[in-house]
Amino acid sequence: MTQTTAYQKPVTLKSILAFAAPTMAMSLFMSFYTMVDGLFVSNYIGSSALAAVNLTAPVIQLITAVSAMLAAGGSAVIMKKMGQQKEAEARQDFTFLILVNVAVGLLLCGAGYLLIDRLPALMNLSAQSAAYCAEYLSRYLLFTVPILLMNNFTLYLIASEKSALSLICSVCGGLLNILLDYIFIAKLGLGLGAAAVATGLGYSVTAVVGLAVFSRRSSLLHFVKPVFRLSTLVSSASNGCSEMATSLVSGVVTLLFNWTMLRYVGEDGVAAVTIIMYVLMFASSLYTGYSYGVAPMVSYYYGEQNREKLKKLVSLSLKTVGIVSLAVAALSFVAAGPLVSIFVRPDDPVYSLALRGNRLCSLALLFIGFNIFASGLFTALSNGVISAVLAFSRSFVFMSAAMLALPAMLGVDGVWLATPAAELAAFLLSALTLIKYRKRYHY
């Protein structure tokens, strides 16, 4: 008797959410325990250490950029082949791409240690902040390979209809991270480097479980003898270049934010930016989780040429994202005070900066979900070029323009309004692109 897969069921809001809910919960939880890292760092080490975590973000986002490219792009290529009934070839490609991740992770780790002292010098930081940056990065880089594997296995577990297991891994990894933060920082006072170790060990949970799961032939995707296909690597890289651009350019934008805040306010401004980024990241993770969750369905239906299901999937997704965006933006604005007070006390000068920043940045949440989904949709449709254009325009072109223009006119308020302005411009571009390509992909 042939087993019915999730891809063969009718497309309804219930079935979509059943497929995507574990990914959404996983993404939210991963953002949550990233925020918990910041909570322990800010409350037990200090705002200078919290600022240092943000100052090291460009290096960390480079690692994330590469893993996002290989994970999202590779998943689209492999699931398209599965939809075309090329299971054996898809599994060969899957194994090959995992080996590529390991090799790239080792290269990035080595390069990171060679450049570890450059970032503090570029930012003209105080001796204390420079020491914090070096301490955090030197521990974090040890986990480069597990982090790449974690990001890849998260998507491949979803594609293999093991979303619940992916969620369990993320929850367990997050709980381990929080527990180790408590032990290392709150109880033992081991410092900022211990926070990086706790994060790395938390990420490693999914990497270890993924290796075990995909070693079993009963899994829809599993390890086989790899076959080197340059076309697979090129297709994966091109399809996932938008996700890479999003993460990579995010590092550049973070540098712009940090430089601007150092100029106008000093290191307190960087700490405030860090808090705002945590809040925006937590809200944005909901959309990212949804986009990642439905991406295998989009790729499968596209490979299967099932236009009816693809059209219904996209239509329901756009309506869902729109409703959630309104609710999340309103909640972020209303709850700004309690959110900021989690990280800093009201008598701290960072508090007033972060409070106003959060309220102004909440406007961006009206558009972020739509932009994330639009870029992810084209990645899943194996159109990495369009996806990259959307992501690059949103993350770099519009954001850089806003960061250069608005602070010059409005001061610190211009820094906070740069994100909403860039997201609004990206929203308009994404809407025009979706309309333009609707007939080609029949969504």
Residue in 10, 155, 11 with CA at minimum distance from that of residue 70: 155
This prediction's pTM: 0.69
Please give the pLDDT value at position 255.
73
According to DSSP, residue 395 is labeled I
The whole-angstrom separation of Cα 20 and Cα 289 is: 7
- Cβ count near 222 (within 10 Å): 15
What is the distance in angstroms between the CA of the first residue and the CA of the last residue of the chain? 32
The SS3 assignment for 46 reads coil
Task: Tell me the C-alpha to C-alpha distance, in Å, between residue 53 and each of 205, 281, 308.
Answer: 22, 15, 46
* Amino acid at position 54, single letter: N
Please give the pLDDT value at position 1.
42
- Cβ count near 96 (within 10 Å): 20
The whole-angstrom separation of Cα 349 and Cα 346 is: 8
Per residue of the chain (443 residues), give pLDDT as tens: 455 667 778 888 888 888 888 778 877 877 776 777 778 888 888 877 887 787 787 778 778 888 888 888 888 888 888 878 888 988 999 999 999 999 999 999 998 888 887 766 666 667 787 888 889 999 999 999 999 999 889 888 887 878 788 888 988 988 899 899 999 999 998 989 999 999 899 989 999 999 999 999 888 888 999 999 888 888 888 777 766 766 766 667 777 777 788 788 777 777 788 888 887 887 788 888 898 888 888 988 888 888 889 999 999 999 999 999 999 899 988 888 888 888 888 888 888 888 999 899 999 999 999 999 999 899 889 887 898 889 888 878 998 899 889 998 998 899 899 999 999 999 999 999 999 999 899 88
The residues, any chain, with a CB within 8 Å of residue 222's CB and separated by 6 or more, are 91, 94, 214, 215, 216
